A and B are shown apart, each in its own frame.
Chain A
Amino acid sequence: LTTTETQLLEKCRNGDQAAFKMLVEQHQSYAYTLAFRLLWQRQDAEDIVQEAFVRVWRHIGKFDLQKKFTTWLYQIVIRLCYDSLRARKRKTRIFQDDKPDADAFVPSENGDQNREKLQQLLTAVETLSPKQKLVFTLRDLHDFSIDQVASLTGLSTGSIKTNLYHARKTIRNQLTSDEVGNDV
């Protein structure tokens, strides 16, 4: 941790709300991107990031200043997203209506072709299990190393590699079947 960040965290530990606001402004963007790419739903991502920072505020007194703050923050965001993905999977099994929708984040001027392509990508991601999605997003979209993914998720490297392998395979199959479908 840099001295400035340590000082900021120290102030937050003493209940300084202005300092905490600065901390939020420094880290909210990456935390939101991470949550968004795991959930692909704006409102859910916003709720998760809000809840993550509330938890940080509540437990900052216990945070070890020798450790990296971002690792702690991302761990919280990832845990909340994982829980949300599992809840969504249960809900989707019942209602079939809680899937990410490309229309929600593609500007209409980008045309139908782009939107169709994006919906295809999202559908492919949706075929993954929550654990596969977690590992795939962190490793392949955020470029964290296997060891970093292990530290962020608490999964063993063996489990990460297996889930990553299956995630990539599922997406490859999905993309190939889409191509065949389009050709026909």
Chain B
Amino acid sequence: MCNTYKKWIHLYRDGELEAQEKFRLRKHLQSCADCRQLLQDINKLDDFRTELQKIPVQLPENLSSRISRAIYQSLVRTRPVSALPWYVRPKLQLSMVMLSVLLLSAFLAERLQLYYQLSALETRLAEQVNTGAKHPYNITAESDYDKWLSLLRKSLGPERTEKTLISIEKKLDQGQLDEIQKHWLKNPSRMVDVVVSALKRENGMYSTQLPELLKQF
């Protein structure tokens, strides 16, 4: 019996009870302590509800800008990678920068190494002249130049060595070529000497071709 009224109490609280049912509920409440207790409890629940609703809800000051930032980030994140120009694709950008740094470092290291190698050769040459050698052409068999050429012949073979030397010759002027023709068979070490000095003259410093040429050694 009470179960029906208990349900009605909840419906009453929700404002969903018909007028006739309300009348019957009121009559029942006069005689039933349990249901009166339930109604009291429900009223307590209403107080509880009111107390919870009173808790101030303060909107965070920066919420809308935080949302805007999140949307901007989601735009960047969700835009298809192919829709972005290549130079702003984050991963590609990083790879390009790293590759450039790598290439530049390799290039500079090579140039630096060549610069020191050639400076060392020049110094040795000068030393030989200063120490009374008759002529720099008379470099001994142990000299660096001979070592270079023997190494070249060993690694490329006689034919390719000749071709390489011819390609070097193309960089030289007629006077230098004559010089090479004159001395080539007599003293191959002279060849390197002439090439080095010619290339140095070519653009004030070492030629841009020099690394490539020397690579073949």
Contacts and interface: CB of A to CB of B under 8 A. Distances in A.
Please determine whether chains A and B interact with each other in the same assembly.
yes
B52 A125 contact: yes
A1 interface: no
The interface size bin for chain A is 35 or more
A49 B78 contact: no
A57 B45 contact: no
A29 interface: yes
Contacts of A17: 68, 71-72
A165 B10 contact: yes
A60 to B, nearest CB: 11
Given A54-B74, A125-B52, A176-B41, A28 B57 contact: no
A24 B66 CA distance: 11
B46 to A, nearest CB: 9
| A interface SS class | helix
A127 to B, nearest CB: 12
A21 B45 CA distance: 39
A36 to B, nearest CB: 5
Contact of A28 (B14, B48, B67, B70): B67
B53 A36 contact: no
The interface size bin for chain B is 20 to 34
B44 interface: yes
B67 A32 contact: no
Contacts of B44: 172, 175-176
Contacts, number: 78
B70 A168 contact: no
B60 A57 contact: no
Interface string B40-56: 01101100110111011
A28 B45 contact: no
Nearest to B60: A46
A41 B71 CA distance: 23
B3 interface: no
Interface in B53-83: 53, 55-60, 63-64, 66-68, 70-72, 74, 78
A50 B66 contact: yes
B63 A50 contact: yes
Contacts of A50: 63, 66-67, 70
Contacts of B41: 172, 175-176
Nearest to B73: A54
A46 B61 CA distance: 11
A37 B56 CA distance: 10
A146 B42 CA distance: 18
A23 B213 CA distance: 68
A51 B66 CA distance: 10
A46 B71 contact: no
A50 to B, nearest CB: 5
4 pairs of A and B residues whose beta carbons are closest in the complex: A172-B41, A33-B57, A53-B67, A36-B57
Interface of A: 17, 20-21, 24-25, 28-29, 32-33, 36-37, 42, 46, 49-51, 53-54, 57-58, 105, 117-118, 121, 124-125, 140-141, 146, 165, 168, 171-172, 175-176
Interface of B: 10, 14, 41-42, 44-45, 48-49, 51-53, 55-60, 63-64, 66-68, 70-72, 74, 78
14 contacts: A29-B59, A46-B63, A50-B63, A53-B70, A57-B71, A58-B74, A105-B55, A118-B51, A121-B48, A121-B51, A168-B45, A175-B41, A175-B44, A175-B48
